[in-house]
Structure 1
Amino acid sequence: METVAAHDFSMFALFMQADLVVKSVMVGLVIASVWVWAIIANRLAAYGKAKREMAAFDRAFASGRPLAELRNDYSAGAQSGLSAVFLAAMEEWDKSHAAQAATSVGLQSRLEIALDLAVSEQSAVLEKRLGFLATIGSAGPFVGLFGTVWGIMNAFTAIASAENTSLAVVAPGIAEALLATALGLLAAIPAVVAYNKLSADADKLIARIDGFANRLVALLSRQLDAGKAL
């Protein structure tokens, strides 16, 4: 009695037996999945660092030290978050006084513009790469589905050519095709979850920066109206 060799259903074997188009889809989804996890790790580390730096700057700002002294301390190092917004305001303050254009209304208007630009720049830094997570989260399942549909088409073509509809003939082709959908979900699910979480974290940090910018404008406006130096 003739025995039929068992088909290898390991993921590697299914990949090797897949059509070139399906292989390309699988490779692309694996790369996307790795990149998704790299972005997640990068953003978590960046947000943790941003929170610590903001907390440290908040303590220094609330300590009552002169703003000129605070500016000297932070201007030498890398600026980000609250310190970048603070230094942008100090730069505009210095330029306006140097040009003898430090009227109350004019300087406040220029400070608001400078701070809006600084907040926008910091927002872009915090939201960096989140768009890729959103793209993979929405497109990943459909890319995997495309690979599955293509693989099933090839499987049905092979079945028709062999004129054999037994499960032993059908199963390998269907399994190869479904692996593409599984890889699409493997990339999309963490991307969606991470995007929602990281977007919420970024929004909180941006709101904190925006709130600080408003406080800083109010403080500098009072300083100007009172005729006080920094």
Structure 2
Amino acid sequence: MVRLAAAMALILWASVALGQEGSAPPLVASEAPVLGNGAGADEAMPVLPKADGPTLGAAEVGTEAPYHTDLASLVLKAHPVVQAVMALLALAVMAVLTVLLFKLVEFPLAFARLRRTKEALAAAPGLAAVTGHCPLALASEAAVDEVQALGPAMTADLRRSARERLDLALDRIEAGAVLRLRSGTGLLASIGAVGPFVGLFGTVFGIMNSFLAIAGAKTTSLVVVAPGIAEALLATGIGLVAAIPAVLLYNAIQRRIVVFRHGFADGRAEILARFSRALDQRMEA
């Protein structure tokens, strides 16, 4: 009996030792966390393998390529079509400035000559030709030439025909003077009317380019969209810079032309009055 009990104890000890050697090692909580529902080790989440490549630092994550925000870089990096629109609008701005500088010199000279001619006509005792480059001086010369071209015998029909010929000559002189003063206004009108639409074309193309950049990058980040929108808005701004001064300058020129025509009409009335008196003297003689 004692031998039987010893044999059974030996067999029990051997089975316990063999069971301890074949069991799995305990799970590490840091590598395979156990689910919160109290599941066993067989339901633990798998551990992902570590990447073989270099790990990015915190400062390198989310960094983008630097983009210059000055206007020069914006123009140089714009789309060629938008650059062409900007160049065309820049030429329009230069044209407006050229017309402005020319008119700043032309109108003061025209009004100064008109004033001097009217003073010379007022100082003359009768119908006299006033020399100068003013249209009013040309009108006085035309009146004197018409009186000298008349014959010694004056009739009512000859007087009426002489007045008609002088009116036609003065109309041509006034039309030529006004035409010279209006030079450049057609260009200003075209720039004022077309400039905003040319800038709008650049805006539409720039925004379209932004949408294409979004589709290519597959992201709606402002870094991708902002350059195209910025160049589009710049094209619109240049168009307004060209159109607004052109419209203002066009209106200013038209007002100055009206003032010049009033001054010329005043001098023309004086010349016609003296021409009529000269014809009266011819008929009395």
Q: What band does the TM-score fall into relative to the shorter chain?
A: 0.7 to 0.9
Aligned residue number for residue 45 of structure 1? 105
Task: Name stretches of at least 5 consecutive residues in structure 2 with no aligned partner.
Answer: 1-59
**CA displacement at 1:141 relative to structure 2:** 1.0
Give 2:150's match in structure 1, choosing from 76, 83, 97.
97
Query: Among residues 131, 135, 149, which one is paired with 2:204 in the alignment?
Result: 149
Are 2:180 and 1:120 equivalent residues in the alignment? no
Answering whether residue 227 of structure 2 is matched by residue 168 of structure 1, we say no
Conservation of the 8 A alpha-carbon contact between 1:92 and 1:114: no
Structure 1 residue 20 displacement after superposition: 1.6
**Could you state the TM-score of these two structures normalised by the residue count of structure 2?**
0.72
Q: CA deviation at 1:65?
A: 4.2
Structure 2 residue 247 is matched with structure 1 residue 205: no
Instruction: Decide which of 139, 143, 150 is 1:85's aligned counterpart.
Output: 139
The residue that corresponds to 2:118 in the other structure is 58
Question: Contact 1:36 / 1:191 at 8 angstroms: preserved in 2?
Answer: yes
- Aligned partner letter, 2:262: A
Distance verdict in 2 for CA 1:214–1:9, change over 3 Å: same
| Amino acid paired to 2:143 | A
Q: Residues 137, 101 of structure 1: CA spacing in aligned structure 2 closer, same or farther, 3 A cutoff?
A: farther
Distance in 2 (CA, whole Å) between partners of 1:91 and 1:129 is: 33
Could you report, residue by residue, the CA deviation over 1:109-167 in whole angstroms, capped at 9, with x for unpaired residues?
11011111111111101111112112212211111111111111122112112111101
Q: Is 1:193 aligned with 2:285?
A: no
* 1:101, distance to aligned residue in structure 2 (A): 8.5
Aligned twin of 1:6: 66
More helix by share: 1
- Tell me the TM-score normalized by structure 1: 0.88
| Match in the other structure for 1:179 | 234
Q: Any gaps of 5 or more consecutive residues in structure 1?
A: none
- Aligned residues of 2:89 and 2:195 also touching (Cα < 8 A): yes
User: 2 CA distance for matches of 1:16 and 1:176?
Assistant: 10
Aligned twin of 1:134? 189
> What percent of counterpart residues are identical?
38
Distance in 1, Cα, partners of 2:251 & 2:122: 32
Q: Distance in 1 between matches of 2:154 and 2:93?
A: 54
* Aligned residues of 2:143 and 2:166 also touching (Cα < 8 A): yes
The alpha carbon displacement at 1:48 in A equals 0.6
**Structure 1 residue 190: Cα displacement:** 1.2
Query: Any idea what the Cα deviations from partners look like across 1:148-203, whole Å, max 9, x if unmatched?
Result: 11111122112112111101110011101111001001111111111111210111
Q: Which amino acid aligns with 1:33?
A: V
- One-letter code of the match for 2:140? F
